[in-house]
Amino acid sequence: MTNHRNMPAVWLMAILLATGISACSPSINHHGYIARPGAFGQITEGMSKTEVEGILGSPSTTASVNFEGDSNYYITSITESRAFLQPKETSREVIAVRFDKSDQVVSFAQYGLLDGRIININNRQTPVQGGELSVLQDIFRGILGSKPSF
């Protein structure tokens, strides 16, 4: 015979355990352009811009370089976030296609997360004179009247 009085406690523990496990699982988010498999391999030099856009679709962004032609950029980013932690970018791909003045492909390349570098556009810190000195250096600077060389 089973004890039915402990069943609600067992169900409550099972629900709490399932909730705890699901809260720790990462949430994966895809941002930007989602490439079809093999689409990049279909691009060749000399193709027209309309052919490229027919294969890859609309670009994420475009740029003009010194009136020598346009460039199309297809940017994909995958982030992983867990509960209350900051999202972490796990993958980034950029497909760059450069065109000449007559809208023909001149060059194309594919870049990944390791090819990029972090550029801090705005760190929200105002540079302050003497702000990089330690307390002791600041004291000696006041006593000696100049910046010490240590």
Tell me the mean pLDDT in the region 93-120: 86
**Domain layout of the chain by residue ranges:** 27-119
Over range 106-112, report the average pLDDT. Answer: 90
Q: Rounded distance, CA 102 to CA 2, Å?
A: 82
Count of alpha carbons within 13 angstroms of residue 130, beta-carbon side: 12
Residues 6+ away with beta carbon under 8 Å from 116: 92, 94
pLDDT tens-digit series, residues 35-90:
888 888 899 999 999 999 999 999 998 988 777 788 999 999 988 887 777 888 88
Q: Contact at 8 Å (CB) between 74 and 95?
A: yes
- Res. 119: pLDDT tops 70: no
Interstrand relation of 88-99 and 61-64 (parallel, antiparallel or unpaired): unpaired
Closest C-alpha among 62, 57, 63, 61 to residue 35:
57
CATH code that applies to domain 27-119: 3.30.1450.10
Higher per-residue pLDDT: 4 or 16: 16
